[in-house]
Amino acid sequence: MIALPPMTGTLKKLGIFAAVLLLLLIAALPLLRVPNTPEISKALDTTILDRFELHDATLSEASAIVMDHVYRQHPEMRKVRCIQYNASSPSSGAAAGQSLDPNTARITLSLTNIPASESFRYITSIANEAYLLRPGRIYLYPAGSPPPKTMRERLDAAIDALLSRN
């Protein structure tokens, strides 16, 4: 074993500072955690919109209204972000003559006593989109196209591509 000299002066203060910083980081970890998929799904299912009315709203406006209701009833969901994912290829699932830009679709509907999950289903289907829950994220993407890949899936695909070259 290697014997270390006793800590003195500045080194001792630095050690104490590092220990306190580590304890603060450990205490803050629950605050940094994003909700997982089942937690998001439960929050969407239990958030009931008493009256949900949209008049000529875009998909992003409509999803922001739904998420506002979710945030009010479930403050722990404030870290969940609703992300519009637009596929880059022109043949990403929209029928001929339909726009791929979900913000050109205007949504008008009136619903009462509806769960947030159902309101997402309605607004995405009207805009020819779909939605997918992932940890900390709700992805809105073109219906008929594959859902967006996670960072892990993209990294695995890149590694496979690199390995298959050799």
User: Residue 112: phi, psi to the nearest 5?
Assistant: -130, 145
Q: What is the mean pLDDT of the chain?
A: 83
Enclosing H/E stretch for 156: helix 151-165
pLDDT in tens, 121-138: 999 999 999 999 999 999
Interval 139-161 mean pLDDT: 87
Both ends of the chain: CA-CA distance in Å?
45
pLDDT the model gives residue 92? 37
Per-residue pLDDT for 154 more than 90? no
Per-residue pLDDT for 108 more than 50? yes
Sorted by where each starts, the structural domains of the chain and their CATH numbers stand as 37-89+98-145 (3.55.50.10)
Burial of residue 71, with CB atoms counted within 10 A of its CB: 0-12 exposed, 13-18 middle, 19 or more buried: middle
pLDDT the model gives residue 16? 81
Per-residue pLDDT for 14 more than 70? yes
Residue 21 CB partners (closer than 8 Å, separation 6+): none
Between 141 and 18, the higher pLDDT residue: 141
